[in-house]
Every structure is written in C-alpha cells, then in structure tokens.
C-alpha cells in the first residue's frame, strides 16, 4: 500500500534517508524521538513535501500527483493542523458531507457524542484533547482505505487514548485490506496495536521489526562489568553503559537464558528497545 | 469543489454578520449626511475583500498542510478560492446596488442613468479581485511568517509608490508625472467602451496570472 525507496530530504540542519514498506491490511508504527524524522516521512507519504531523491508510492502512485479520488482514500491526522478553529463540529460534518461521498455522518456524530464533543461549540473553545479526538473522528469516518496518523493520541489522557485506539481497531475490523501508519511517542499505544514497528533516529531507520518479534525474541540483560566481559557480543543488538554496569539489548533472549543461567534476562518492550537502541551503542 | 466552497462559506459566516452590520451602519450614516455615492459604491468591494481575506488568513492560521490532504487537486483548490472571491464580490456589488437604490429613493436625489448605476465602480471590483488573487498566491508560496513579511513589504511599497505619484503630480516634470500624464491623455482620447474593455482585459489577465502562480506555488512548495 505504501512503498518508500531511498527517500531523501535535506534541510539546513537535518537530512532524512529512509526506506519503508507498508503492505495492505497491516498496522505499522513509526516511533522515534522528537525531530527524528517521523513527521517529515509522513509528509512525504502524503505528498506534502517534495523529496530530494528516492521514490514514494502510495496505492502504486506518486502522492505528489494525487487527485481527488486518491485523496478520498486516505484518512489523515496531523498534529496542530486541521479544519479552521472558527468552525463547530456541526460545520465540520456539513463540510465532510459535501467533500466525501463515503462520509458516514451517523458514525461521526456518534463518535462526537460518545466523547462528549458538543456539535455547536467552536473548535477553538474545545480542550486540546477534545480537538485531538475530533481530528481522529474526521479521519475515521469518510471511508478511507489507509489511515496516516501523526501523533493522534498527543494530548489525550489514558482513558481517551484507549478509546481512540478502540476506534481505530473498529475501523480496521470493517475491512481486512485497510492499513494504518501511526506515529506516536507513547510506545504503549503501539505495543498492543501494531503489526510491525519502524524506529527512526536522526533521519534514518535504525530498526524494523514485527511487534511480535520484539515481544517474543528481544530481551534486556542487566549485567555487571565482569559479566559483560563474558557475554557473546555477536548476539547483542545494542549496549548502554549504566552506573552498575551495562544494559544490553538482544534479539536472542532464549540463547542467553539457556547459556547464561546466572544472568537475569527480562522481556523487552518497545520502550526498552527505544531506550537502549537510541541511548546506547549499536 | 462544493466541499471547499461550503468550508469557506462556513468560515466567512463567522465574520459576515458583524461586517454586514458595519456596512449598513456606514450606509445609513452616509445616506443621512449625503456622502458621495462613489464612496458607498467602492466601500462594498473592500468590505467583501476583507471577508475573503479573513478566510485566507484563517486557512494560514489553521495550517495549509491539512487542507492539502483534502480530496482536491491544486487546480481545483485555486479555482475554488478565486470563485469564492468572485462570488463574494458579486454579492457585495449586488448589495451595494440595493442599498444605493434605497438611499436614492429615500433621499429623493436624482438617479443616475441605468448603465452608470449598474456598471460604475466595476473597476474597483476588478482591482480587489487582482489583489485577492495575488494575496492568495503569495499565501501559498510563502510560509506564514514570510507571508506576513511579504504582505508588509507590498503594503509599504504601494504606500511609497502612491506618495511618489502624489508628489510627482504636484511638483516637477518627473518620470512619474509623465506616466500619469500619458495615462490621462489616453483616457481622454480613447472611447470609454475601448478603455473599459482594455482595462477589463488587463485586469482579467492579471487575475488569471495570479491563479497560475498559485497553482505553481502549491505544486512546488513543501507544506
């Protein structure tokens, strides 16, 4: 559904160089620190920026050449960017009805109602979290085949985050071919949700794994300097120096459990993968 | 295109009522004190321009990036905005004619000829359309911060040019004075219909060029 080959974009103090594949029917997470290149990648996918080199294909087409019919198939959430804040959700419903032939107005109204979003209140008077929920409701209710969500849960509390993620799950259940690309700095949102994860840092993809692989095979070893000296480095993905010794990330936790019974090997989550990969030595 | 028009209409509705109230209050006062009709006539396109510009300003504040993900191509996006400007001008022009007719009837002042009544002041509508077209193109070309600087520069430039023209008229035989004199002579010699057609043609060409520039800016800018 999305194919990125050698996408390059250079700015004064930042350059992006990434390749990604997002097949139909998958949920892909894009994680990384602020300024790592998540939003630039998403903008390239949406055709909002002109790549300096490389190729971006969405639905097998260059998104810079998209027409109305192509754009109708994509639901978008961009941070701090949406319909005018002078409008009300009622106005937004009216606009979506005129713009998208597949707009599901009853679903939109139900989503607003369930989140306590007043249809008559101007968007500018809504809280940050409510605005974020409204942006997601817009993206989900016009029959898109692909969702591109840049930080959709930013500003939401735990309960609202869960509800928004449930909306996205419902959206996916309606059609097995639907795909989602979601960027978030809240890794717990992505852990139980994404089929695979891309970790981006300094404009480059530093890790691409299926979420199940991360949860099943990746482990974290906390070892002293003496223990670290005895470890088989070939099986270590990243190492981070700590006060007590080293924290090591491995993709072969079973190997260490079987061969180093004296060392505690914890299961790795996306958080620990990010912390060690980005904070340590690869 | 309908969706974009609905969007712009919904946004402009928020400022429409206060602007309309201000316009009618101005007309009422102007009618009572017997202000020049040309002032009433030319005020309406300016009012409509302010409303239309507020929609563009609102779009800049909300971020163009999201607008560019809506289901429209660059040409449709630019055409719609210019159509919206045109509709706003047409509505303001029609409203000004109604108001002027009411003022003429109530005050009992002599009515102008039908042609003059309906077509006088169209030059102002054209000027405003050119201004809005280029304003929109510039808003697409530059990011919000640079757009404000460009706008400031243009306003400053126009003011300086205006002052230079005024100074030239009242002073020496400068180049500006010669240009103004040349335009005056053409104006005097040429038949009014030819002048009107020529002026309208130039205005429409400038307006059309602004649309081409806007599409080009939209296709080449990073949002």
A102-131 per-position pLDDT tens digit:
999 999 999 999 888 899 999 999 988 889
| Domain extent for B47 | 2-129
Give percent of chain A above pLDDT 70.
Answer: 100
Do A94 and B220 make contact, defined as CB atoms within 8 angstroms? Answer: no
- Which residues, including other chains, have CB under 8 Å from residue A114's CB and lie 6 or more apart? A163
**In chain B, alpha helices (H):** 2-33, 37-62, 64-67, 74-107, 114-119, 122-141, 144-170, 175-189, 192-220
- Give me chain A's average pLDDT, please: 91
pLDDT at A135: 94
Residue B86 pLDDT: 93
pLDDT tens for B114-153 read 777 777 778 888 889 999 999 899 888 887 778 778 888 8
Asked whether A48 and B69 are in contact (CB, 8 A), the reply is: yes
Across the interface, which of A64, A86, A99 has its CB nearest the CB of B71?
A: A99
Closest CA to A11 of A46, A48, A42, A49: A49
Residue A164 to residue B39: CA distance in whole angstroms: 55
pLDDT tens for each residue of A238-261: 998 888 889 999 999 888 888 888
Instruction: Select the residue of A46, A66, A94 nearest B10 (Cβ to Cβ).
Output: A94
ipTM score: 0.85
Contact: A67, B73; criterion CB under 8 Å: yes
B21-46 mean pLDDT = 75
Q: How would residue B30 be classed by pLDDT, with cut points 50, 70 and 90? A: confident
Contact A68 B72 (CB under 8 A): yes
Share of chain B above pLDDT 70, in %: 91
Decide if pLDDT at A170 tops 70. Answer: yes
The span from the CA of B170 to the CA of B163, in Å, is 11
Q: Does the CB of A176 have a partner CB in chain B at under 8 Å?
A: no
CB pair distance less than 8 Å for B69 and A86: no
The pLDDT of residue B153 is 85
Q: How many independent structural domains does chain B possess? A: 1
**Greater confidence, B182 or B94?**
B94
CB A164 within 8 A of CB A130: no
Query: Considering only residues 59 to 118 of chain A, which have any Cβ-Cβ distance to chain B shorter than 8 Å?
Result: 64, 66-69, 71-72, 74, 76, 78, 80-87, 91, 94-96, 98-100
The mean pLDDT of B77-83, rounded to a whole number, is: 94
The reported pLDDT for the residue numbered B172 is: 59
Asked whether residue B29 is assigned to any structural domain, the reply reads yes
The CA distance from A257 to the nearest CA of chain B, in Å, is 49
Q: Which residue of B has its CA nearest to A77?
A: B66
B220 contacts chain A (CB < 8 A): yes
* DSSP 3-state percent helix, strand, coil across chain A (nearest 5): 40, 30, 35
Determine the average pLDDT of the residues in A60-82: 92
Question: Is B143 an 8 Å CB contact of chain A?
Answer: no
Which pLDDT does position A98 carry in this prediction? 95
CA A171 to chain centre: 16
Neighbours of A6 (CB within 10 A): 12
Verify whether the Cβ–Cβ distance A98 to B6 is below 8 Å: yes
Whether B62 has a pLDDT exceeding 70, the answer reads: yes
Which range, of A49-58, A118-127, B13-22, B32-41, averages the lowest pLDDT? B32-41
For residues A260 and B170, give the distance between their C-alpha atoms in angstroms, rounded to a whole number.
Answer: 97
A90 Cβ neighbours under 8 A, 6+ residues apart = A119, A120
Is domain A2-212 in CATH 3.40.50.800, yes or no? Answer: no
Question: Is B62 part of any domain?
Answer: yes
Lowest mean pLDDT among A155-169, B24-38, B156-170, B191-205: B24-38
For chain A, domain boundaries: 2-212, 218-279
Dist. CA B180–CA B119, nearest whole Å: 24
What would the pLDDT profile of A86-103 be if each residue is shown by its tens digit?
999 999 999 999 999 999
pLDDT at A39: 93
Q: Are A48 and B65 in contact (CB under 8 A)?
A: yes
Query: What mean pLDDT is reported for chain B?
Result: 83
Asked whether B151 and B138 are in contact (CB, 8 A), the reply is yes
Cβ contact, residue pair A91, B59, below 8 Å:
no
């Amino acid at each position: 559904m999305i194919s990125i080959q050698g996408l390059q974009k250079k700015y004064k103090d930042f350059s992006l160089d990434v390749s990604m594949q997002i097949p139909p029917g998958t949920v892909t997470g894009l994680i990384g620190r602020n300024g790592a290149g998540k939003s630039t990648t998403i903008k390239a996918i949406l055709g909002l920026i002109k790549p300096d080199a490389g190729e971006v294909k969405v639905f097998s087409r260059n998104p810079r050449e998209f027409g109305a019919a192509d754009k109708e198939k994509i639901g978008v959430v961009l941070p701090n960017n949406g319909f005018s804040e002078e409008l009300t959700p009622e106005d937004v419903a009216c606009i979506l009805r005129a713009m998208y032939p597949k707009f599901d107005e009853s679903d939109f109204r139900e989503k607003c109602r369930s989140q306590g979003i007043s249809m008559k209140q101007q968007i500018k008077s809504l809280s940050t979290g409510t605005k974020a929920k409204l942006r997601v409701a817009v993206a989900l209710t016009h029959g898109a085949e692909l969702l591109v969500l840049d930080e959709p849960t930013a500003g939401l509390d735990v309960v609202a985050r869960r509800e928004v993620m449930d909306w996205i799950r419902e959206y996916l259940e309606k059609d097995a071919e639907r795909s989602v690309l979601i960027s978030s700095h809240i890794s717990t949102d992505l852990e139980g949700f994404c089929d695979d994860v891309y970790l981006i840092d300094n404009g480059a993809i530093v890790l691409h794994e299926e979420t199940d692989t991360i949860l099943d095979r990746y482990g974290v070893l906390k070892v002293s300097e003496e223990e670290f000296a005895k470890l088989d480095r070939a099986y270590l993905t990243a190492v981070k120096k700590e006060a007590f010794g080293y924290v090591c990330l491995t993709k072969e936790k079973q190997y260490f459990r079987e061969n180093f019974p004296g060392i505690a090997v914890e299961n790795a989550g996306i958080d620990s993968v990010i912390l060690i990969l980005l904070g340590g030595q690869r | 295109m309908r969706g974009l028009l609905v969007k712009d209409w919904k946004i402009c509705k928020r400022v429409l009522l206060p602007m309309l109230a201000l316009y009618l209050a101005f007309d009422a006062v102007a009618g009572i004190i017997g202000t020049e009709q040309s002032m009433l006539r030319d005020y309406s396109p300016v009012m409509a321009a302010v409303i239309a510009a507020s929609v563009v300003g609102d779009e800049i504040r909300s971020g163009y990036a999201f607008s560019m993900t809506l289901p429209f191509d660059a040409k449709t996006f630019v055409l719609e905005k210019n159509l919206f400007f045109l509709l706003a001008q047409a509505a303001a022009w029609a409203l000004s004619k109604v108001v002027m007719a009411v003022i003429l009837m109530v005050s009992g002042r002599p009515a102008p000829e039908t042609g003059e009544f309906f077509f006088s002041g169209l030059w102002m509508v054209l000027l405003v359309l050119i201004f809005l077209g280029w304003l929109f193109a510039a808003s697409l070309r530059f990011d919000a911060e640079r757009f404000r600087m460009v706008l400031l520069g243009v306003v400053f430039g126009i003011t300086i040019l205006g002052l230079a023209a005024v100074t030239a008229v009242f002073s020496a035989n400068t180049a500006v004075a010669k240009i103004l004199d040349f335009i005056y002579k053409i104006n005097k010699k040429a038949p009014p219909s030819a002048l009107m057609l020529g002026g309208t043609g130039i205005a429409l060409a400038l307006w059309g060029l602004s649309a081409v520039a806007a599409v080009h800016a939209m296709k080449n800018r990073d949002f």
